[in-house]
Amino acid sequence: MLYRSVVKPIAFRMDPERAHHLFIGGLGVSRSVPGAVPMFRTMYGVPSHPALKTELWGIRFPNPIGLAAGLDKNGEAVTAFSACGFGFMEVGTVTPKPQQGNDLPRLFRLPPDEALINRMGFNNEGAASMAERLKKLYPNYRIPVAVNIGKNKVTPNEQAEEDYRLCIQQLYPYASFLVVNISSPNTPGLRSLQHGEELNRLLQAVTAEVELQRAKLSEAKARPILVKIAPDLTEDELRQTVEVIQSNPGIAGIIATNTTLSRDGLTHPNKEQAGGLSGRPLTKRSTEIIRQTYALTKGKLPIIGCGGIFSAEDAYEKIRAGASLIEIYTALIYKGPDINKELASGLVRLLERDGFTHISQAVGADHHD
């Protein structure tokens, strides 16, 4: 309740991006403050429950609730977020070279819609900086830490695979798994990489580089690669995208979805702002993409569900539609880190209601009823 009664009212009176930097910076510094991280664990940690423990790709997740990419772009606050009840988290999106991103202002709240619009444009300190941070923590992560990778704005699509390769070369040793971001609406032309031969060429390059890094580290098995897709794909586009992903055996899963360009049903004046929309308005669309993706893959390619999860019911709907894990972002901004306990206890209750003893039994259940 501390967040909702004290932190949020102050933060929501500030410029959104300034509040974001103060929040992440504060969490980053907390790692070196005696007692701070144990305090987070006491306040926000999620009690272990056997029904929620999940294993995918040989990785153990204490619960299925993850932090989506975009909040901790530079891997500054891994220790703090790991103490706040998450079962895993993504850092990034990171690009090979540092970049400032798009012009300010570029982050907007829509409180009555419980939404955010951002056009950040992959602002980050670059892959080398993130690697230095993660190197200090690896392999002692308390939860799996995925690295979300992208291309620099100035890199033409014809050379995009080189940027993804460069990120993998520097960050593979510290990633529990990798996420290929080809679906942000804020880097010009990026979403065209979701289609056809461009996607196929990119995924072949990514899987080849991962194999090189696996061999370099003498690992028996390569770390998983996931692809993050947009919610704005048509049925035909989604089918083609999934076909290409499935044709590349090195790809281990899909994250559905990124932010949307849709503005349907919004009421706040900031709806006129350009950028990707996240939060409550994305709930139904992201679930539908999960449902379609699960059907197209016949449940053979694990899905991480992301988009508009504000309650245990939202999360459970995505799980029943086909998601094995879920991620939050905007709900954390609006509801605070207490949400993880709320989601976890609610999921246990919903599993028991439906007669399931483990969350894996609920994955894709809507397709089997």
| Tens-digit pLDDT profile for residues 307-366 | 999 999 999 999 999 999 999 999 999 999 999 999 999 999 999 999 999 999 999 999
pLDDT in tens, 236-293: 999 999 999 999 999 999 999 999 999 999 999 999 999 999 999 999 999 999 999 9
pLDDT digits (tens, 9 = 90+) for 172-205: 999 999 999 998 887 888 787 777 788 999 999 9
For residue range 24-46, what is the model confidence (pLDDT) as tens digits? 999 999 999 999 999 999 999 99
CB half-sphere exposure, 32, CA atoms < 13 A: 5
Multiple choice CATH, 23-367, 3.40.640.10, 3.20.20.70, 3.30.70.20, 3.90.1150.10: 3.20.20.70
Residue 222 has pLDDT above 80, yes or no: yes
Percent of the chain with pLDDT strictly greater than 90: 92
Q: Which residue is it, tokens 């690992």?
A: 219
The pLDDT of 70-74, averaged and rounded, is 97
Domain segments of the chain as ranges: 23-367
Known catalytic membership, residue 184? yes
What was the pLDDT predicted at 290?
98
Tell me what pLDDT residue 101 has. Answer: 95
Three-class SS state of 219: coil
For 29-62, letters b (16+ CB in 10 Å) and e give ebbeeeebbeebbebbbbeeeebbbbebbebebb
Q: What percent of the chain has pLDDT over 70?
A: 99
Alpha helices in 58-186 (DSSP H): 78-82, 127-137, 160-171
Predicted pLDDT at 190: 77
The active-site residue out of 184, 278, 286, 324 is 184
Assess whether pLDDT exceeds 70 at residue 1. Answer: no
* Alpha-carbon distances, residue 157 vs 61, 189, 194, 234, 282 (angstroms): 34, 7, 11, 22, 28
CA–CA distance, 301 with 306 (Å, rounded to integer): 16
- What are phi and psi for residue 54, nearest 5 degrees? -130, 145
Q: Are 345 and 334 in contact (CB under 8 A)?
A: no
Are 330 and 115 in contact by the 8 Å Cβ rule? The answer is yes
Interstrand relation of 323-328 and 303-306 (parallel, antiparallel or unpaired)? parallel
